[in-house]
Amino acid sequence: MSYEPPTPPANLPTEIVNTLNESDPEQLRDVATYAEALAEHKEREARLEESADQEEVEERPDDLPDDVPAKATITIKEINDNRYYYWQWREGEKIRSQYKGPVNPDE
């Protein structure tokens, strides 16, 4: 009696199917565990991003540049003994910054 291998999903890229076909059973189980955990992580991130978008303030601060998201916060960085304001926000796993201006020492 011969057994047919499972048919891969049509939307799975050929290079992934080929790599999986060349893998041993232990690697395949590891891939399955990792893929499930990664899918859950990405779904959770999407839900968090969606809820953050819904909570986003409608009004943008007057001094917020067009290319900086409304959820950005202001941070202070010290460079060569000088202090500067930066807009800072998260994009996925990365933290993005954009220069705002020098910190006024009188403040």
Do 69 and 97 fall within a single domain?
yes
Residue 20: CA atoms inside 13 Å, Cβ hemisphere, count?
Answer: 17
Q: Is 65 within 8 Å of 87 (Cβ atoms)?
A: yes
- Inside any domain, residue 17: yes
Q: Rounded to 10 degrees, what is the CA torsion of 62, 65, 69, 72? A: -70
Q: Would you state the pLDDT for residue 107?
A: 54
Q: Would you state the pLDDT for residue 79?
A: 82
As a whole number of angstroms, the distance between CA 12 and CA 19 comes to: 11
Do 32 and 45 fall within a single domain?
yes
Q: Is 86 within 8 Å of 96 (Cβ atoms)?
A: no
- Inside any domain, residue 98: yes
pTM (predicted TM-score): 0.45
Residue 87 burial (C-beta neighbours within 10 Å; 0-12, 13-18, 19+): buried
- Inside any domain, residue 7: no
Do 59 and 90 fall within a single domain?
yes
- Inside any domain, residue 3: no
Q: Mean pLDDT, 10 residues at a time, over the chain (107 residues)?
A: 83 92 92 87 80 53 73 82 85 85 75
Do 99 and 60 fall within a single domain?
yes
What is the domain range of residue 96? 55-106
Domain count, the chain: 2
